């Protein structure tokens, strides 16, 4: 009986040129805000501190094995990246990001020097070669992880938040969000996550992604900080007050975001979480609680009191 021939140099390659798919890995990358703003003498200290803080946060979150078994780890100077078993991704999204927020808060409060460390976090899932040497882990999913980390929305959301409150801003790839969050595997409802177009200045990169801020502050719900065009709506929906009378204007604590240029309308209440409910441009319900009035128009429109749950 004959057996199929394989290329001796590559057992995973068949004679028709196909190759076995590399193993799927979860990928986490972090980057320190304002790293280049520190004097050069501080850079080495920050580079050493970041993996120490990551290790502490994983252990404190009960995920010490994720850190101990990390694949293709690499310091990027102002950050760190590594791969892990994607089965752990639900726990990395929550509780790890929240625990990282706590660890960084403690570090910044008790730091005796001028260094404060606030981190952007990027999470992705995809097939990556895992050879176990210095060349492992290279591929499109890893490249996209770094692009997401450098994208405008996650940078803007951390820059606009209070440095005394918000220490972590995370961005998830759409694959990560769909598989883990929308799939119901993580301990955070999907209303905590904000859909954004992730773009990187000077790069041909644009992907659908999702922001998650464990402890929000500042103008988190103002789409203008994400670089989107916003105009004020002159036509406000009516509402019913406590006496049963109709009045003009949105209810306190509500936000309506019109994104006519992208075909998405978000409307709903800000109640302490990133709660934006989705409608399409025809007013058809596509997620969340069906409430509010949809107005057409060009660009984005925001009205309402955005401070109701954003601080």
Number of domains in the chain: 2
Give yes or no: residues 110 and 258 share one domain: no
Q: What is the mean pLDDT of residues 253-281?
A: 34
pLDDT at 110 over 80: yes
CB 108 within 8 A of CB 167: yes
Query: What is the predicted pLDDT for the residue at 93?
Result: 98
pLDDT in tens, 120-174: 999 999 999 998 877 889 999 999 999 999 999 999 999 999 999 999 999 999 9
Average pLDDT, the chain: 75
User: Which of 7-11, 37-41, 140-144, 167-171 has the weakest average pLDDT?
Assistant: 7-11
Answer whether residue 187 is part of any domain.
yes
Whether pTM exceeds 0.85: no
CA distance 259 to 190: 20
Residues of the chain with pLDDT > 70, as a percent, come to 64
pLDDT in tens, 55-81: 999 999 999 999 999 999 999 888 999
**Position 1 in a domain:** no
Distance CA 300, CA 311 (A): 22
Range of the domain at 297: 223-303
CA 167 to chain centre: 13
22 DSSP assignment: P
Are residues 202 and 229 located together in one domain of the fold?
no
Residues 77 and 205 in one domain: yes
pLDDT at residue 97 above 70?
A: yes
Q: Which of 168, 187, 212 is the C-terminal boundary of a domain?
A: 212
């Amino acid at each position: 009986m004959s057996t199929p021939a394989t290329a001796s140099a590559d057992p995973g390659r068949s004679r028709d040129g196909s190759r076995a798919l590399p193993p799927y890995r979860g990928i986490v990358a972090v980057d320190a805000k304002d790293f280049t703003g520190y004097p050069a003498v501080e850079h080495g200290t920050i580079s050493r501190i970041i993996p120490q803080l990551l290790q502490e946060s994983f252990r404190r979150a009960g995920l010490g094995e994720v850190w101990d078994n990390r694949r293709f780890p690499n310091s990027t100077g102002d950050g760190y990246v590594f791969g892990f078993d994607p089965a752990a991704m639900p726990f990395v999204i929550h509780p790890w990001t929240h625990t990282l927020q706590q660890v960084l808060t403690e570090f910044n409060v008790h730091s005796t020097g001028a260094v404060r460390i606030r981190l952007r976090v990027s999470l992705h899932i995809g097939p990556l070669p895992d050879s176990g040497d210095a060349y492992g882990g290279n591929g499109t999913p890893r490249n996209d992880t770094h692009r997401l980390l450098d994208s405008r929305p996650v940078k803007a959301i951390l820059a606009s938040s209070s440095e005394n409150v918000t220490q972590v801003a995370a961005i998830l790839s759409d694959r990560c969000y769909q598989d883990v969050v929308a799939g119901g595997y993580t301990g955070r409802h999907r209303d905590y996550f904000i859909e954004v177009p992730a773009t990187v200045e000077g790069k041909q990169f644009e992907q659908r992604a999702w922001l998650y801020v464990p402890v929000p502050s500042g103008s988190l719900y103002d789409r203008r900080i994400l670089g989107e065009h916003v105009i004020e709506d002159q036509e406000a929906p009516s509402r019913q007050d406590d006496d049963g009378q109709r009045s003009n204007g949105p209810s306190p604590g509500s936000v309506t975001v019109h994104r006519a240029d992208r075909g998405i309308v978000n409307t709903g209440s800000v109640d302490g979480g990133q709660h934006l409910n989705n409608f399409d441009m025809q007013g058809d319900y596509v997620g969340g609680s069906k409430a509010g009035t949809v107005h057409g128009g060009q660009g984005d429109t925001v009205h309402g009191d955005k401070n109701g749950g954003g601080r």
